[in-house]
Structure 1
């Protein structure tokens, strides 16, 4: 006789729970117990689906990185609409108000996680490297529309925006949209014709 209720998508339920713990309490609070408690499942559920907690974290990072694909598509479709700085403000706010900043902390402080992720992501910081590529692709679309200068080094601009965004959102309260927009406008002043 079954002892509980079947869980439809346990991996996603656990990933969502981990994200809530990360956003609420930061990387140091993320434990298998915290995740399973947040998800409302027995601790053994996590270990039935993942070899160990670091395996779970690797899959969490991969899942959240894959989700950038939809955000990247939406950002590219926004090319030619609004302003370049406005579009960047939205995407960077969404990125850094999500679990991205906490994943950076996990990557830095969990040696085993970092070693395992290096097998898939040999350079850079997972999620942020993909976010920089997303921004570079968006800027290329804007360049094709004449809203970004032809000679602009888009990869460098994208890395600059990711670093700037990370610093803006790191620790404490998130900046308001006007402050983020002001920084984005200044950061792209030399490359965007429509800020």
Structure 2
């Protein structure tokens, strides 16, 4: 008997957590009900059919309530499973791993940008444009790398993996191209020295 309040409180907690989904499902049920009432058959016609068959109305209410409860439960279960999966992925990454991964990604991105510039501006005529693009790539690197050491008040309230975000697809592509091969010994101190020149 003591388990019923615990189950009920966990159901209420799930409903509060996913109140938007519950609201969307409730609106969807109302839309379906109104379509059935005005578009297909009048609900009073259904009531007359039930009375002819001598089926108690409470039984139908229980069956309908059970169906709605099953739909709500399945929707909440799917959303909570997805949310838990995303949260587990983020919780599995310790702070040191997030910072090291971000450092490696920044350097790989810088190397890829410079490599692209070298291959793109191979002629001497493009030297000025190449120099300008190279300076922009380095400035972009320095701006993004400052997030490791300087964060605003708003960024301090956000989880670290969101502040130091890494594009997974781009990271895989850079690793596939071999930019991460020689970066095992990369330290945050190296990034610090690249940003803050004495």
What TM-score does the superposition give when structure 2 sets the normalisation length?
A: 0.32
CA radius of gyration, larger in: 2
What TM-score does the superposition give when structure 1 sets the normalisation length?
A: 0.32
Structure number having the greater helix percentage: 2
